[in-house]
Structure 1
Amino acid sequence: MAGEKAGVKSSSTIVPCFLFVELVIMAGTVLLAYYFEYTDTFPVHVQGFFCYDRAFSKPYPGPDERSKAPPVLVYSLVTAIPTITILTGELMAFFMKAEGTQEKTIVTADCCYFNPLLRRIVRFLGVYSFGLFTTTIFANAGQVVTGNQTPHFLSTCRPNYTALGCQTAMQYVTERRACTGNPLLVASARKSFPSKDAALSVYSAVYTVMYVTLVFRTKGTRLAKPTLCLALLSLAVLVGVVRVAEYRNHWSDVLAGYFTGAAIAIFLVTCVVNNFQRVLPVALPGRPQRPESVLGMPMVALPCVESPLEKLSGPQTPGSPFTEIT
């Protein structure tokens, strides 16, 4: 546009789109997640069970607050770790002037300036928050629709087998009033598939791992990124293992949660954040092109120490597979 200053771009649609489209969608997602989680708007499907079914006869492990991976800890980690990682990465990319981060400042109505750093942080964290609530909705919807029981279902249900006429273990009970236990515990024990904690943990880990993998470039420290990524994925997997070990979920519930969280994270990073856009530097004579950005994200070169594995003694021939490419 004529008359624009260097590094400044005018836009009259960014504020209306943010206020009337993105915020509306985000508010609707949060409300839907709230209704699934804290209200009885969507009743749980009452599924029958076999008398004396060993798959549902595990001892009651107690409320979730007594778990080795309580919901408060899980929700704190899935919120704090990606937020700190994204903030650190964007600040380093901005101040180190990494290629791909120097976007133009957007001005609207000649009064409001949107800094590139702020826009990128809001973009990544906004998409992450949207995916977090979406994962919650998918997990809760699956639990409500299926009504699959937890491994400790019969311990909380406390069915009166004599009144139900359970003569053999193969008899199937479908009565809604079969349970004599605490109604709140019984309703909670009917929400097993998929595991919500496993879905949220894997979603957070995969989103953060993809961000770290695509944004950070560590020359000379080849194991830094894999170590960090594997640590994040291991924490997410550990949450599912704890859920199974404490008889709060079946393995099928945890695996379904893993798939749900990973699928949502991969979709958002690849199809929403940036559509596989590559930013290539200008080719110089005699030098091969090397992509500095994948998925439109900047590659941040972190301070590092040269690895002795990358230093070779003796002359290097042009045809050698160990020839250094600069």
Structure 2
Amino acid sequence: MAGEKLGVKNSSSIVPCFLFVELVIMAGTVLLAYYFEYTDTFPVHVQGFFCYDRTFSKPYPGPEHHSMVPPMLVYSLITAIPTLTILIGELMAFFMKAEGTQEKTIVAADCCFFNPLLRRIVRFLGVYSFGIFTTTIFANAGQVVTGNQTPHFLSTCRPNYTALGCQSAMHYITERRACTGNPLLVVSARKSFPSKDAALSVYSAVYTVMYVTLVFRTKGTRLAKPTLCLALLSLAVLVGVVRVAEYRNHWADVLAGYFTGAATAVFLVTCVVNNFQWAQPAPVPVRAQRPDSVLGMPMTALPCVESPLEKLSGPQTPGSPFTEIT
């Protein structure tokens, strides 16, 4: 009890769980995301298409790094903005001792002390990093399984319509070797659903917005937090709009990416990090109500008035006019 009063808690399981459970899961997630992104371990499903399909006949917009929102810019923003926001928020909450953010120092094996500030930063940023790789896996898995084509698919595929017998636009082509374009560009043009950039952008924005909403306490202004949250969400939505405007994704791909990222962020915040709040103490058992209370509200004590009947029924004293005569 003395240790808990001083804000110190002993735990012998925090280090083994971190080393042999959480780091192993994190490493497995990173490896799986790497294999999806940079190897051909999981081949993309080859989906057929109609001849002269206008849905896939948009002009080729160029490499990804020529986009108005290149992947490097998206990845830099989804890494820097949440990290800086969480670091600033935790430092302010720790030094200002905000309510709901103060935890106990963990002592493990009498040698390791884990400061509450460090624990919260590592926890929130670690879960955020795990969510980034999880969202990447979900998006890549959807692209590999579906094999949906991008709006500029036919521009990169360059099918030989004469050799394929395309006499009409209703002719459906299922041949794997129908494309004569660059194989790398063709494979990339088959990864449209869902949009990975839209998923990562919305995941980062929703996670950060929920952190700002649940942790930051602003006094004197009611527009600071909504303005910051709407700005972050607007940037995420803008990424999806640019993807559609540049013919890199369909609207359905972007909306599916939005849903994937938002669902991942909401699940991690509510079910894993407990809305960024520390564990609440066990509730104090409610004591039995006293008979002088009704519905938990004490009754007002009224002045007592002695009844004449009580006087008559009470013990009789010698000399009383009501003493029985024998």
Counterpart position of 2:133: 133
Provide the rounded CA distance (Å) in 2 between the counterparts of 1:3 and 1:224: 39
Counterpart position of 1:105: 105
Distance 1:206 1:248, change over 3 A: same
2:14 corresponds to which letter in structure 1?
I
Provide the rounded CA distance (Å) in 2 between the counterparts of 1:102 and 1:84: 20
1:171 aligns with 2:171: yes
Counterpart position of 1:80: 80
Deviation of the 1:3 alpha carbon: 6.0
Cα distance per residue 1:225-276 (max 9 Å; x no partner): 0100000000000000000000000000000000000000001111111179
Provide the rounded CA distance (Å) in 2 between the counterparts of 1:279 and 1:112: 21
What is the DSSP-based 3-state SS (H/G/I as helix, E as strand, rest coil) of the residue aligned with 1:65?
helix
1:187 corresponds to which letter in structure 2?
V
Within 5 A, what are the aligned runs for 1:112-127? 112-127=112-127
Provide the rounded CA distance (Å) in 1 between the counterparts of 2:276 and 2:17: 23
Cα distance per residue 1:176-220 (max 9 Å; x no partner): 000000000000000000000000000000000000000112122
Distance 1:264 1:278, change over 3 A: same
In the comparison of the two structures, how many residue pairs are matched? 281
Runs (4+) of structure 1 moved beyond 3 Å?
A: 1-5, 275-281
Provide the rounded CA distance (Å) in 1 between the counterparts of 2:6 and 2:223: 40
Provide the rounded CA distance (Å) in 2 between the counterparts of 1:142 and 1:159: 25
Provide the rounded CA distance (Å) in 2 between the counterparts of 1:2 and 1:99: 22
Q: Structure 1: where are the runs of 5+ without partners? A: 282-326
Distance 1:276 1:18, change over 3 A: closer
Q: Structure 2: where are the runs of 5+ without partners? A: 282-326
**Does structure 1 retain, via aligned residues, the 8 Å contact 2:215–2:276?**
no
Counterpart position of 2:297: none
The structure that has the greater radius of gyration is 2
Provide the rounded CA distance (Å) in 1 between the counterparts of 2:135 and 2:64: 19
Provide the rounded CA distance (Å) in 2 between the counterparts of 1:100 and 1:220: 20
Counterpart position of 2:248: 248
Matched-pair identity in %: 91
2:108 corresponds to which letter in structure 1?
T
**Does structure 1 retain, via aligned residues, the 8 Å contact 2:94–2:102?**
yes
1:7 corresponds to which letter in structure 2?
G
Counterpart position of 1:154: 154
Provide the rounded CA distance (Å) in 2 between the counterparts of 1:7 and 1:111: 17
Counterpart position of 1:220: 220
Cα distance per residue 1:263-301 (max 9 Å; x no partner): 0000111111117979999xxxxxxxxxxxxxxxxxxxx
What is the DSSP-based 3-state SS (H/G/I as helix, E as strand, rest coil) of the residue aligned with 2:180?
coil
TM-score by length of 1: 0.84
**Does structure 1 retain, via aligned residues, the 8 Å contact 2:103–2:278?**
no
1:234 corresponds to which letter in structure 2?
S
Cα distance per residue 1:31-69 (max 9 Å; x no partner): 000000000000000000000000000000000000000
**Does structure 1 retain, via aligned residues, the 8 Å contact 2:206–2:266?**
yes
